[in-house]
């Protein structure tokens, strides 16, 4: 009963703070709309334009003729904008100037080596040079040329088996273009910021714990409570649960409003979305409680949280989606609760690996246990 009394009193006090309640609900709703409209172009599905490549075919044999038919065919030109070049030096110059992204060189002995019963493994079938820093372009060029090499190798193997009349003929039709709706496989701007702003405002819910612990532990009221029959665990758990319920109710309002007012896609597995949300609320309250109990100063704890939350939101791509290569930044990202929660929610909505989502929830659970353990240790050290 003592625990329930503390819980109900703290929850009622939080709900009566209309200013904070409105701020915690209206702020994410407004930010979702503003960011979603302003940055909508960033989330529009892009179209893969044909990649400009230079081609030097010095082979005058049948293999070179087959290659020209292949590389200049209508279907391949939808992927590669192939342009003849005069020499390897000219191709390298054009690559440096950005005119082409790759250079394909078919040497003059390609047909003879290709038709030989004992082809030399030291002589490459094709020489391909791709500009660095573009793995997508490299993959497209390599796969297109790989399809030609596989077909040509098949013809060569059949000829060595005695089928002398076999010839390479690329007919096309292997690529079937089917338009797909992007809404079910990737988030739009409103969908993206609905998740990131929900996560951010939940993290700002840590301020409830910070200021609540200050009043109930550090001020004169807290000292008088310590002299009452209320156990420290009852006091602590009652306060934490009230703050958890307060922030979770605010999160539910944001989810419901964005779903019905903005048409945000929250996926088909809403129970798992709510579980991830509740886990993040526990983490947020645990973080605020820990910092408040360790610093013993409302001003210092509030300053730390107000400075930390924008940083971890930015690192998680909450304000603008970006990617920075490197193991150090990746490790820092995975320390951000925002990143863990956002990734888990996006995995749930857009069909990510269930094992990965479980691992992210486990990481969040570990952070929760750590924050509450540190907070309890700090509370006992002070008052025992």
pLDDT (tens, 9 = 90+) of the chain, 384 residues, equals: 777 877 888 888 888 888 888 888 999 999 999 998 888 877 766 666 788 888 888 888 777 888 888 888 888 888 888 888 888 888 888 888 888 888 888 887 777 766 555 445 555 567 888 877 667 777 888 888 887 777 777 766 666 676 655 555 555 555 555 554 445 567 888 999 999 999 999 999 998 887 776 666 655 555 555 555 666 667 777 888 888 999 999 999 999 999 999 999 998 899 999 999 999 999 999 998 888 888 877 788 889 999 999 999 998 888 887 766 667 777 778 788 999 999 999 999 988 888 999 999 999 999 999 988 888 787 665 544
Q: What is the DSSP string of 236-259?
A: HHHHHHHHHHHHHHHHHHHHHHHH
| CA separation for the pair 380, 375 (Å, rounded) | 9
Q: Which has the closest alpha carbon to 361: 349, 372, 345? A: 345
Question: What pTM does this model have?
Answer: 0.67
Q: Which residues pair with 56 in a beta bridge?
A: 105
Q: What angle do CA 275, 281, 285 make, to 5 degrees?
A: 150
| CA separation for the pair 108, 207 (Å, rounded) | 72
Sheet of 127-130, strand order: 80-84, 51-57, 102-106, 127-130
């Amino acid at each position: 009963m003592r625990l329930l009394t503390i819980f109900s009193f703290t929850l009622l006090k939080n709900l009566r703070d209309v200013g904070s309640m409105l701020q915690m609900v209206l702020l994410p709703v407004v930010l979702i709309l503003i960011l979603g409209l302003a940055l909508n172009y960033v989330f529009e599905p892009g179209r893969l334009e044909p990649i400009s490549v230079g081609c030097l075919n010095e082979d005058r044999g049948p293999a070179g003729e087959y290659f020209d038919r292949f590389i200049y065919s209508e279907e391949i030109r939808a992927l590669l904008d192939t342009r003849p070049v005069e020499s390897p030096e000219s191709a390298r110059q054009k690559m440096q100037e950005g005119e082409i992204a790759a250079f394909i060189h078919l040497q003059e002995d390609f047909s003879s080596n290709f038709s030989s019963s004992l082809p030399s493994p030291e002589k490459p079938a094709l020489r391909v040079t791709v500009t660095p820093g573009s793995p997508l372009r490299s993959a497209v060029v390599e796969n297109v040329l790989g399809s030609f090499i596989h077909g040509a190798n098949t013809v060569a193997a059949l000829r060595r088996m005695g089928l002398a009349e076999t010839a390479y003929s690329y007919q096309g039709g292997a690529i079937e273009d089917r338009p797909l709706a992007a809404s079910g496989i990737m988030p739009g701007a409103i969908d993206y910021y609905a998740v990131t702003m929900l996560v951010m405002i939940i993290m700002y819910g840590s301020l409830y714990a910070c200021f609540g612990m200050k009043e109930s532990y550090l001020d004169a009221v807290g000292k008088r409570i310590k002299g009452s029959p209320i156990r420290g665990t009852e006091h602590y758990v009652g306060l934490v649960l009230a703050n958890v319920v307060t922030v979770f109710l605010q999160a539910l309002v944001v989810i419901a409003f964005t779903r019905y007012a903005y048409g945000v896609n929250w996926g088909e597995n809403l129970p798992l979305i709510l579980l991830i949300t509740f886990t993040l609320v526990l983490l947020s309250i645990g973080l605020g409680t820990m910092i408040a109990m360790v610093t013993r100063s409302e001003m210092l704890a509030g300053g730390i949280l107000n400075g930390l939350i924008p940083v971890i939101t930015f690192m998680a791509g909450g304000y603008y989606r970006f990617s920075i290569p490197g193991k150090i930044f990746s490790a820092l990202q995975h320390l951000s609760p925002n990143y863990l929660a956002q990734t888990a929610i996006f995995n749930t909505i857009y069909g990510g690996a269930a094992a990965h989502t479980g691992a992210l929830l486990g990481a969040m659970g570990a952070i929760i246990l750590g924050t509450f353990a540190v907070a309890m240790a700090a509370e006992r050290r002070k008052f025992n």
